A and B are shown apart, each in its own frame.
Chain A
Amino acid sequence: MRDIFKKLNVKADWWGLRHINQTQTSLSVRDEKLDGINTGYDNGVMAEVLVNGQFSFVATNDLSFDSIQRAFDQATEQALKNEKWNLYNFSMEQRPKAVGTYSSQVKTQFDKSSIYEIADNLVNATKFMTVSGDAQLMSRSARTIVSDTETLFLSSNGSDYHQKLTQCTLDLGMAASLNGDNQTRSNGGQVGQFGLDYFNKDSLKQQSIEISRELNEILNAENCPSDTRDLMITPDQMYLQVHESIGHPLELDRILGDERNYAGWSFLNKEDFGTLQYGSELLNVTFDPTITSELASYDFDDTGAKAEKKYLIKGGKLVAGIGSLESQARLGVDGVSCARMQSWNRPPIDRMANINVETGTSTMADMISATEKGILMKANRSWSIDDYRDKFQFGCEYGQLIENGKLTKVVKNPNYRGQCTPFWTNLKMLGDESTMEVSGSFYCGKGEPNQVIRVGHAVPTALFSNIEVFGGGK
């Protein structure tokens, strides 16, 4: 690809070529048998030019020289044809030179036969999913995605950046029925940059036994009460709370209105940066590309901006946004290196990467003993938030009441709802390092044309006061 790039004849102020080659295997096991396996090889290039202040994109999976030259010609023509309608006059400042390499630091690399070992271990894991008493087992499933994405970025101002990311998911789940009511329990969905060692047979077995135990508990539990009480959420729910009610509202392209027709915009304004108290003083949120096992750790974003750790919220105050060099120039607000593209066939837009909450000082026991009337909720099962990213509602798989400083009754169908800044202002205690987990989402959707992106969230357990909670039913 470097040879092709050198030979290109491009009549633009700047040009860049991004070659992305992804191999991804999705494997699903159910009830001790293979439910599906697909290995996809996706290989293509995005030709990008800057002409008279406008970036223009043409993507193709034909990797011949003639095809790539045609893509650049077409991108240049596309920019010139639409010049008069340009929204903003961009410059090369939004495409800095990026040189280097980055590779996921996984313990045990995958090879072609690894998937056979993983398949056997997942089949074995489903054998240990059980229910007791009169409960009827409906399904036992184990799924994974193993993804290798290799990216080469070359540009006319000297960028030569190579990146190889190994990103995986691991989902264990089961469903059962008792007295006409179906309940589900999972391992909360694990994601990260990890290797073959993560699919350890004993660890999978242990997780299956644990979710079986908790599924049996919720099958026999009462419905979650409807009232206002303190809420403690573990990282397998906290990550999505952060994602939806901190990550998305802070995206600068939402504030600029790019997303208004699809994903929506934000309740935040430009003036809120540096002034708005977003949450309690316990709340410190970072953009952090340095945790190697987290999904979105990288050195440069897809425009060549260097990725470095940065505070977005410090002591509860909003200090910076999730915005690329393009959005920072347009809005005049400080941002991070977050211009990301799903693959070779989509242009870069503002995306979360690793958006993390720094740990506090409380243990789980501290938080439970400090709660007179509360509820613990684990593992997300439902989520929804408005287009300004303000009014949200979440449901979880497993709930347990906290009464007079002790965990008591398990409850099923636990849900809660609230609004962003009041909710984060009610953050009462934050878990220490022992409660922290590296989590995230493999499928964050946004953009027109639509794109999904992989997002990391390293978060601790957290306790909030006075939250509206409720149960299930018609």
Chain B
Amino acid sequence: MSVFDKIKKQEKYFYSLSEKLVAALASDEHLTISYSGEETQFYRFNQSKLRQATNVSQNAIGLTFIKNNRSLSKSMNISFDESVDLKLGLELIADCKQDAENLPESQSVVLPQAGTDSSQIIETEAASLIDVTTEVLAPLQDVDMAGIFVSGPVSEGVYNSKGLKHWFTSNTFYFDYSLYSAKQKAVKNCYAGSKWDSQKYLANIETSKQLLTKMDLPVVNVKPGAHRTYLAPGAVSEILGTMSWGSLSMSAFKQGYCAFAKLKEGKESLSPKFSLQENFELGLSPKFNELGEVRANKLNLIENGELKTLLVSSKSSAEFNVPSNQANDYEMLGSPVIKPGNLSQEDVLKELGTGLYLSNLHYLNWSDRMSARITGMTRFACFWVEDGEIVGPIKDLRFDESLYNCFGSELNDFTKESEINPNTMTYDKRYIGGSSAPGALINKFNFTL
């Protein structure tokens, strides 16, 4: 049986199991059931050798039960053996009924809705046909590499007590890696896709090896202070990732934790060159959320520096009486895209003139959330540039800067070209999705240590 035949059987099984669980509900009870599953091969590398090989097969369902203005959730693993799964599932439904009698009232509840079903199984061969370790490692025996190769199908599904069904499967791979020079300077790159292409892979690592030679130039010790700075797309994506934590959430705004509160209140502004949207046409993640609600293809969040809307889940909508835009429960960015600008990638060094070229940033965190101020470190291939020429790699610097400055008054321009950054997070399970960001030229960026 092919991997996709197996997944199609799993989809049918999920709906069948869900129907039997829904049959255990009373007329005033409601249920939404989510599914997540993966068959993932992990190869962890160090010194261009294999450190750990791990294969993970995991499948789980989540139950969101509503009764008597109480909303509560349970989750459990499933093994596709109905005698095991249905028994445990029915026990959890019984627990839900009891909990709903004994827990305090919920802030808000979102009842399941009927809708249009969807099923999308993207049948790609990913990296299943290659000898991964040999293919990946053989061309890297002349360099010190650390990283991880991840491949295999990931599925998500939803079923609710109104009979709504959604399913999404993608089968992708990525090789997220960094190369190290003898002086322990590094460059970072990622080769990702849905079909392994040896030529593209070799070109990807050759680009990294070429960049690594520049890391052997003498290190420049740049003093802290305000510097003209180019943030490559990887660095902009890091900032975008931090923005996802509470800066655009309606719930965070209402609770006093929203980093863009002053932007929403019109007390601060961003550059007219800054536009951000949710764009599910990237095709990296399903359009449905954990409740089975289908999101718009595109949603403008910030347009020409003005906040158009925050992310609003149906839960927030019910609680705060504002329209939902079907954001996920945590109101985090799902498929964000920053609009490109007019700066040509080829002209970046010339336009930068003298300043810092930063490929990546590291360990970002809000240092003053109410001022939208972020601190973090430079990492990997970061250079000092003079008169449009790379002088040498820098000793790592700490920055501490407000988004109202770097994407506001000090934003010079974004590049015309954008890069897609796949989500490589694997806490608990493999995450899917990604973001798209251009590079950014900043007139003054504040470094502190």
Contact = CB atoms under 8 A, between A and B. Distances in A.
A134 interface: no
Which of A56, A64, A393, A474 neighbours the largest number of chain B CB atoms within 10 Å of its CB? A474
Contacts of B144: 257
B150 A391 contact: no
A29 B104 contact: yes
Contacts of B47: 87, 257
Contacts, number: 261
A59 interface: yes
Given A59-B58, A119-B103, A393-B400, 16 more contacts: A34-B107, A57-B55, A87-B49, A112-B95, A176-B256, A182-B256, A260-B178, A346-B54, A384-B363, A385-B363, A386-B398, A388-B396, A393-B398, A393-B448, A395-B368, A472-B371
Interface stretch (A1-9, A35-43, A314-322, A458-466): A35-43
Contact of A59 (B54, B254, B371): B54
A61 B59 contact: yes
B146 A382 contact: no
A112 B102 CA distance: 11
B426 A449 contact: yes
A451 interface: yes
A108 interface: no
Q: 9 shortest A-B CB distances, which residue pairs?
A: A138-B256, A175-B256, A472-B368, A139-B255, A61-B77, A87-B49, A448-B148, A449-B426, A38-B73
Most-contacted residue by chain B among A33, A264, A449 (CB, 10 A) = A449
A79 interface: yes
A417 B449 contact: yes
B379 interface: yes
B177 to A, nearest CB: 6
Contacts of A115: 99, 103
Contacts of A261: 146-148, 176-178, 188
Contacts of A413: 368
Contacts of B372: 474
Contact of B404 (A78, A387, A474): A474
B78 to A, nearest CB: 8
Interface in A324-342: 342
A119 B134 CA distance: 54
B49 A40 contact: no
Interface size for chain B: under 10, 10 to 19, 20 to 34, or 35 or more residues?
35 or more
B102 A113 contact: yes
B143 interface: no
Interface of A: 29-44, 54-64, 67, 74-75, 78-79, 81-82, 85-87, 112-113, 115-116, 119-120, 123, 138-139, 141, 175-177, 180-182, 184, 256-262, 264, 342-343, 345-347, 382-388, 391, 393, 395, 413, 415, 417, 419, 445, 448-452, 472-474
Contacts of A181: 370
B256 A139 contact: yes
B105 interface: yes
Nearest to A258: B46
Contacts of B146: 257-261
A85 B133 contact: yes
A115 B256 CA distance: 28
B257 A33 contact: no
B226 interface: no
A87 B46 contact: yes
A385 B363 CA distance: 7
B180 interface: yes
A99 B303 CA distance: 62
A337 to B, nearest CB: 19
B256 A448 contact: no
B88 interface: yes
Contacts of B396: 386-388, 391
Contacts of A40: 74-76
25 contacts: A32-B104, A44-B58, A57-B54, A59-B54, A82-B50, A82-B53, A85-B134, A85-B137, A87-B49, A257-B46, A258-B146, A259-B146, A260-B146, A264-B362, A382-B365, A383-B365, A384-B363, A384-B367, A387-B396, A391-B377, A391-B398, A419-B449, A449-B150, A450-B426, A474-B402
B90 interface: no
A43 B58 CA distance: 10
Nearest to B54: A57
B261 interface: yes
Contacts of A30: 107, 255
Contacts of A449: 40, 42, 44, 54, 56, 148, 150, 426
A87 B180 CA distance: 17
B267 interface: yes
Contacts of A85: 49-50, 133-134, 137
Contacts of A43: 76-77
Contacts of A387: 362-363, 377, 379, 396
Given A37-B72, A449-B42, A60 B51 contact: no
Nearest to B77: A61
A460 B47 CA distance: 40
Contact of B79 (A67, A86, A391, A445): A67
Contacts of B400: 393
Nearest to A60: B57
A58 B104 contact: no
A140 to B, nearest CB: 9
Contact of B103 (A34, A55, A346, A384): A34
B276 to A, nearest CB: 20
Nearest to A177: B256
A82 B186 CA distance: 26
A54 B78 CA distance: 31
A417 B58 contact: no
Contacts of B405: 474
Interface string B357-392: 000001111111111110111010000000000000
Contact of B105 (A34, A82, A452): A34
Interface in B345-367: 362-367
B57 A116 contact: no
A262 B367 CA distance: 22
Interface string B181-209: 00000101000000000000000000000
